[in-house]
Each structure stands twice: as structure tokens, then as C-alpha cells.
Structure 1
Amino acid sequence: MKNYSIFIILFAFLSIVMFGCNNNRQQATVTNTDQKKLIVPANLKVYAPFDNYVLDSTQIANSALKLYVSINFSCPTCIDKISKWAQLIPQSSAKNNVPVIIIANADDRFELIKYLIKKNSIKKFPYPFFLDQKGEFIALNKVIKESAELNAVLTDKDNNILLQGNPLHFPEVKTLFLKKINAL
């Protein structure tokens, strides 16, 4: 009987946690922002460890649309998502060359990402990475949170914010992003 009571308490707790987290995620897919323009710090360091780049830095800067993504490169699970961003690219950029611009911060001076790339643990990404050594990108852009749900922003050529969300986590956000990109 004691085990049965523990099971019921554990089940109730897990149910509350699951439904609570699910509601928060649903609300995170739609965000309103007062910030109209994304600010890109001038002192980002370009890190280009691969040789298969689709666009050079000039072409990236002049792209009609850009998808900015903030990733913590000292987080192994965050780094694992790089390949998912690469899979999103063919759907969006084949027609319009919309670059996925990964702006990375790290607590370890980017040692983990450099090690993983050196060991070939990361698939080649078709754009260079931009390393934010001082953490200015998130500080300058309140619209970008250090949250997986709100870490991506679609902008126009002048970095005016068009959409925000994470197309990897939410299918409805992915649909909105791809619709906007394909309308170009």
C-alpha cells in the first residue's frame, strides 16, 4: 500500500510539471517585442573552421533576409543543435540564399566547440560562426533571450526584425519563418 501511495504522489507531481512546462512553451512561440532592429556588435570574431561555405561574409551582409541564432557553445546539447540548423538551411536558402548566422557565446573561451570540430564531432556547417567573446549580442538585444525558445530572429537586409521564435522547437514557428522566406 505504501508503494501505491508513493506512485500516486509521483504521478501527480510529474503531471503538474509536464502540463506546466507545456503551457510555458506554447506561450513562448508567440512574442511581441518593442525592439524593431537587431543590433549586431562590431567586434564579433569570425570563426570559419570548415571549407564548404555557401556565402562569403559580404554576401551574408547583403542578404535580403537573415536568420540570426544565438547559441551557447559551452553547452554540449546546444552544440548538438547546429546540425539541425544546417538541415533547416536547404528548406530556406536553396531559393533565396538566406544565411543562418550563428552568434555564439561561451563560458569556456570556445574551447569545447574548437575541440569538437578538431575531432570531427560536428558536421560541416555551411556558414562561418560568429563568436561573441564579450556577450554583447544578448546584452544589446533584449529580444534575444538565453532561451532555446526565443533564440532565433529573422531580419531583413537592414536587420529590422520580422519574426522571432525557434523553428526547430515549434512547427508553427517554422511554418511562419519558411512562409516569410519563400515570399521573398
Structure 2
Amino acid sequence: MVRVVILFFVVCMCFFSCQRKGVVNEQVLYWQDREILFPQKNVFTLFGKDTVDMLFDSPYKILSYLDSMGCVSCKAQFPAWKEFLVYLEQKKVPVLFFMGTRRLKEMQFILRRETFGYPVCIDEKDSLNKLNHFSSDLMFQTFLLDKDNKVLAIGNPIHNPKVKELYLKIIQGEKIGSINESNVLNTMVDIDKTAASLGDFAWQEERKATFTLKNMGNKPLFISDVTSSCGCTSVDYSKEPVNPSESLRLHVTYKADHPGHFSKTITVYCNADASPIRLKISGNAK
């Protein structure tokens, strides 16, 4: 298999904002061509109960580690993974989900609630992390590995569509050099606001907010993807290009899982100079 590591890391630097490039560079240098070490015994289950076998000796595999800090379901983005898994299964690329948590019952509940019927290793001793010392940054806890468990690419394909594109290019054997952002015709956008307060409300109720993006440049505005930091947040918007001087509305819906204060992030990936654009909603679900 042709190694693409060096070229990958050059391209990878284009996928993050300037303030993140120092962190990206540090992580990239650390993980470059490094072998991921797995515990001798790995138990994968469906919904935390029924044991299943996982394929480790495939040409490519994706490892996604998740720690127990914060909102697990928010970080995991199980609905988005389910869509991606349909394609990966066609390519016979397994995803090894490791959840480093002692909260077994909570994880079982989350997996059932999200109807995530894919094998997951609930690593109660956090053995995988102890062997590899992963970053605490969610963006650097997912890896594309080769048949020898060496790192080909790093980044979360669910939270960043450009990383997803890169993973797919490597899996499909395409030239990484074909990812060239300089060929994209960028435009400029104006946003009516970057944060919205949803106030106080009963946690069983839905709350909505609208953000308006206006194309201030002279090229059409294309939205490539919109992601949220939580499965409890959904975004509706027109998929049509936005012509110069025209506007696009992002309709954000929040449905709380439980009472409490919240602050969620919506990330908009587009061909604007300011991309990715990060929007926030907050409130108090009583």
C-alpha cells in the first residue's frame, strides 16, 4: 500500500482555522505513522449487552475513542455516524468505537435511546487510552488506520466534513493532492448574529432560533455541511446556492434530553472566507 502520510499532513493543515494550526501541527507530528496499541482483550457489544465479534485485520479501519467527560451523546453524534456507517459497510471498513467510561448503565441507556445498533466497546478500565495517551481534544480522538494499525489520518469525520472527504479519498485510493482548496471560489458572508438565547422554558418543549447569512461577495455561497455539538439540536436550511446579495436562513431546533442549562454550538462549513462559521444557542430548560 502506498504511504500517503506526509502529503496528508500537509493537506490537513488547510482544514483548520489559523488559531488551531499550532495544535494541529503538534498532534500531527506526534501521531504521524504511529501504531495504535490495542488491549489484548476487547469486548464489543450491541447496546452494551450482546457480545459480537469485530474485524481487526481489514485493509482500513477507523478508530473512534470517546472519553467520559461532558455530554457523551453530544460528543458522539450517533445519528451522523449511522449515516456514515452505511457507506463504510459497503466498503468493508469497520469502525472500532471505544467508550472510555465506568458508567456502564448510562452508556447502555444512551445507546438504546439513540438506537445505535453498531458494536461498541465500553472500556470501563479505559485501557485503550492508557496504552496510547490520546488527546483530550475531541477532534484528535478519531483515526484512520491501515492494516497494521498505523495512523494514516487523524480527525473526526463527523464533526468536520473535510476530514470525512479526506478519509474517503484515502479509502477509495484517490490522490490526496486532488483536495485543493485554492480552487474553490470563496465569497464573504454577513451574519445577523452569532449567538441566540432561548431563555427559560419547560424542558419537554422545543425551542427554535433563526440565523441569517447574507452573501456579501460576488460569487455564489455554497453550504457544504452544517453540524451541531449535540444530537438534541437540528438545523434546517435550503441546499440551493445563495447568489450575491441574497440571504440564507438557518432554522435551529433544540429539544432537551433533560432539565438544565445548556450551551450548544452549530458549525457551518461553506465557501466563505470566515468558514467554518460557529453559531451558539443557550438557555435554561426547566
Settle same-fold status: TM greater than 0.5: yes
> Given the alignment of the two structures, is residue 70 of structure 1 paired with residue 72 of structure 2, yes or no?
no
Which structure exhibits the higher relative contact order, with contacts defined as CA atoms closer than 8 Å and separated by 6 or more residues?
1
- Three-state SS of the structure 2 residue aligned to 1:139 is helix
Identify if the C-alpha distance between structure 1 residues 35 and 182 changes in structure 2 by more than 3 Å, giving closer, same or farther. Answer: closer
Identify if the C-alpha distance between structure 1 residues 71 and 133 changes in structure 2 by more than 3 Å, giving closer, same or farther. Answer: same
TM-superposition CA deviations, 1:36-73 (whole Å, max 9, x none)? 2010112333222389xxxx625x12321110001135
CA contact (8 A) 2:64 2:98 kept: yes
Aligned mates of 2:72, 2:141 — CA distance in 1? 16
Counterpart in the other structure of 1:40 = 38
1:77-96 equivalences under 5 Å are: 77-78=73-74, 80-94=76-90, 96=91
Counterpart in the other structure of 2:135 = 145
- The answer for unaligned runs of 5 or more in structure 1 is 1-20
More strand by share: 2
More helix by share: 1
Q: Which has the larger radius of gyration?
A: 2
Of the candidates 117, 122, 133, which is equivalent to residue 124 of structure 2? 133
- Three-state SS of the structure 2 residue aligned to 1:130 is strand
TM-score scaled by length of structure 1: 0.69
Deviation beyond 4 Å, 4+ runs, structure 1 = 21-30
Identify if the C-alpha distance between structure 1 residues 79 and 121 changes in structure 2 by more than 3 Å, giving closer, same or farther. Answer: farther
Aligned mates of 1:153, 1:136 — CA distance in 2? 17
> Given the alignment of the two structures, is residue 113 of structure 1 paired with residue 104 of structure 2, yes or no?
no
Of the candidates 118, 122, 133, which is equivalent to residue 114 of structure 2? 122
Aligned mates of 1:149, 1:168 — CA distance in 2? 10
> Given the alignment of the two structures, is residue 175 of structure 1 paired with residue 165 of structure 2, yes or no?
yes
CA contact (8 A) 1:71 1:78 kept: no
Aligned mates of 1:171, 1:149 — CA distance in 2? 12
Identify if the C-alpha distance between structure 1 residues 101 and 141 changes in structure 2 by more than 3 Å, giving closer, same or farther. Answer: same
